[in-house]
Chain A
Amino acid sequence: MAKLKVEVITGERVVYEADDVDMVIAPGAEGALGILPRHAPLISLLSMGEMRIRKGNDEQSLAVFGGFIEVANNVVRVLADTAERAEEIDLARAEEARQRAQARLQQRTAEIDRARAEAAFRRSLIRLQVARKRRARQGMGSGASGPIEGQG
């Protein structure tokens, strides 16, 4: 069966690259996009959210924040404004950011601040979701419940 080649790139670097992917689920601007091999050529805007990359039984998550996705000839190219792999996300920092944003949302502040706080809140939630999923999967694999030690 045909496989997908997947590239996630930002203005600064290549964040993710693989060429034996079975399925990609990306946060399209018009709703989630599921992409299987032999998908029709497509260019879509991305919103912010979790991007899932499935290889057999293995699934990896990335946090992507806006940009574009391009699909053609079994190549999925994501041109993200910002993108982070699960293992790059600092869980403690994301949690801190969430609390900060939440505190700011509870105060009565100017409209523009509110919009910024909301965006920050959403970003932190996505980061937490992506990072926690990875932790849960690793916990399952090793059977340990304590903090994960530097694996990958």
Chain B
Amino acid sequence: MPQAVTPREIRRRIRSIRNTAQITRAMEMVAASKMRRAQQQVVSARPYAERIRLMIGDLAAMTSPAEEIRTFPLLAKRPIRRVQVILITSDRGLAGALNTNLIRRAVEFMTHERPEPLENFDIVAVGRKGRDWLVRYGWPMVAEFTRLSDNPTIEAIRPIAEIATTDFINGKVDAVFVIYMHFINTLRQEPRVLQLLPIEPPEEVGEIADYIFEPSPAAVLQALLPRFIEVQLYRALLEAVASEHSARMVAMRNATQNALDLVDELTLTYNKARQAQITREVSEIAAGANALGSVQA
């Protein structure tokens, strides 16, 4: 134990660590309530998304592959030369390994899983942490969206969907992927890669096969496809928000615990140092008295 530390210095450190613990605990609570809201949003977005999925699955099953390419450009599969990656990270830090894991997954995807050379990627950064990282390491970024809200609306993702759709239809890119943090539960989130374009129609259920369509099945499918892209992006963003807040909540809970452990440890050190000081003082007085006594004798 370093002797140089005085009890007063230790006391000051204890106080400052207690303050830190108070802040991290407050951040934990804020993150917990934001996480609950985000989870609720995921749930309330579900009915719409499921219905759109089902209708697309059934309608796509009614169209032939030739028609697909001619009349539904969003379904068109073509040889992939250029790829767009939408990387969803958080704006703020203090969320544990969340953004590190996301970026690692993105790098792995672009360098190992896709055969295209790196210069054939266009990255759209959603979230400041991902944007900063891409800029710092010189990755090919074509657009950035930061400061999206903690309770995003569908409106907020429309410009992102717009870029993906336009670039895909114009043939600038041949596929679009979204990389986001999938929310499993409070303790577990996992980076996922989702293919946004071309749209892979979901399994057909055959539920709407004998409906009347106005104006026509093709027109309905045509209108559904852009909605499907929005729904998928929106869902990915909501999951990302829920993941961010739960990661931050857990990180802050650990930080609070660590701070309190440190306070305990320092309190012990403080008591020892105080006792040592008292002992020293007593022995100094005793020694002084002794010295005086021996002079008198």
Contacts and interface: CB of A to CB of B under 8 A. Distances in A.
Interface in A1-52: 7, 9-14, 28-30, 40-45
B211 A43 contact: yes
Interface residues of A, number: 23
Given A43-B55, A68-B220, A11 B234 contact: yes
Nearest to A28: B214
Contact of A68 (B49, B55, B210, B231): B55
B44 A42 contact: no
Contacts of B44: 12-14
A82 to B, nearest CB: 8
Contacts of A43: 55, 208, 211-214, 220
23 contacts: A7-B47, A11-B48, A11-B154, A11-B231, A11-B234, A12-B41, A12-B154, A13-B44, A30-B215, A41-B211, A42-B211, A42-B214, A43-B212, A43-B213, A44-B215, A45-B214, A67-B227, A68-B220, A68-B223, A70-B51, A70-B55, A70-B211, A77-B51
A77 B48 CA distance: 10
Interface in B142-180: 153-154
A79 interface: yes
Given A45-B223, A68-B55, A68-B223, A14 B211 contact: no
A81 interface: yes
Instruction: Give the top 6 A-B pairs by smallest Cβ distance, nearest first.
Output: A44-B214, A11-B154, A41-B211, A42-B212, A13-B44, A9-B48
Interface of B: 41, 44-45, 47-49, 51-52, 55, 153-154, 208, 210-215, 219-220, 223-224, 227, 230-231, 234
Main secondary structure of the interface of A (DSSP, over half): strand
Interface of A: 7, 9-14, 28-30, 40-45, 67-68, 70, 72, 77, 79, 81
Contacts of A10: 48, 154
Contacts of A7: 47
B55 to A, nearest CB: 7
Contacts of B214: 28-30, 42-45
A70 to B, nearest CB: 7
Contacts of A28: 214
B214 to A, nearest CB: 4
A77 B210 CA distance: 17
Contact of B215 (A12, A29, A68): A29
